Amino acid sequence: MSHPRPSRNVQRTLPARKRIALIAHDGKKAELLEWAQRWHETLSRHELIGTGTTASRVSKALGLPVRGLMSGPLGGDQQIGALITEQGLDLLIFFWDPFSPQPHDPDVKALLRLAALWNIPVASNAASADFLISSPWTNQDYEMTIPDAGAWVSDRVSPQDAT
């Protein structure tokens, strides 16, 4: 079954102070912590959000506030996805483990699909996270295109549904 694509796009401004999600599968948490410590100064200028134990471990390691959500398998990935659709997230740093099957793989795939749909910059490992966080756009406003969700809904509402 094919799904209709949003028919129009709109502009969105990512603010200079970004809302950054930090997520890591169990086998990648140490790598994410090491990466976050290297980028402590930059991360301290942004709002950090994380899932499960990743949020608490990053907060403890960096001494920075990290808004904690549920663990990924308990719905944290879906919470991050909801933030994306509500334009409540600006960057996604997700160190996922390609060698370890996850019981919540469908949630991970859905999260990455939403990030692609809503044009959210995503890093999946230390090298891509380095490139993303060192970009000049990380610390300044950035104009981007996103789907026009309102137009997408109105394009699909039949006349009898409008009454």
Distance CA 21, CA 51 (A): 8
pLDDT interval class at 24 (50, 70, 90): very high
Q: What is the CA radius of gyration of the chain?
A: 17
CB 85 within 8 A of CB 118: yes
Asked whether residue 129 is assigned to any structural domain, the reply reads: yes
Asked whether residue 102 is assigned to any structural domain, the reply reads: yes
CB 76 within 8 A of CB 68: no
Lowest pLDDT segment from 13-17, 32-36, 73-77: 73-77
Distance CA 104, CA 135 (A): 31
Greatest CA separation found in the chain? 57
CB 49 within 8 A of CB 77: no
Asked whether residue 73 is assigned to any structural domain, the reply reads: yes
Question: Per the structure block, which two tokens stand in for 123?
Answer: 């890093």
pLDDT interval class at 56 (50, 70, 90): very high
Which run of H or E residues covers position 145?
strand 142-147
Asked whether residue 29 is assigned to any structural domain, the reply reads: yes
Tell me the helix, strand and coil percentages in the chain, rounded to 5: 50, 20, 30
Distance CA 41, CA 46 (A): 10
pLDDT higher than threshold 60 for residue 6: no
Q: Looking at the 3D structure of the chain, how many domains does it have?
A: 1
Which range of residues forms the domain containing residue 38?
11-137
Out of 77, 90, 130, 141, the active site residue is: 77
Instruction: Write out pLDDT tens, residues 86-130.
Output: 999 999 999 988 887 666 678 888 999 999 999 999 999 999 999
Confidence (pTM)? 0.86
Lowest pLDDT segment from 76-85, 120-129, 148-157: 148-157
Asked whether residue 148 is assigned to any structural domain, the reply reads: no
Asked whether residue 154 is assigned to any structural domain, the reply reads: no
Is 161 among the catalytic positions? no
What CATH number does residue 51 fall under? Answer: 3.40.50.1380
Asked whether residue 133 is assigned to any structural domain, the reply reads: yes
Question: Per the structure block, which two tokens stand in for 86?
Answer: 């509500």
Asked whether residue 143 is assigned to any structural domain, the reply reads: no
- Percent of the chain exceeding pLDDT 90 equals 71
The closest of 112, 137, 135 to 124, measured between CA atoms, is: 112
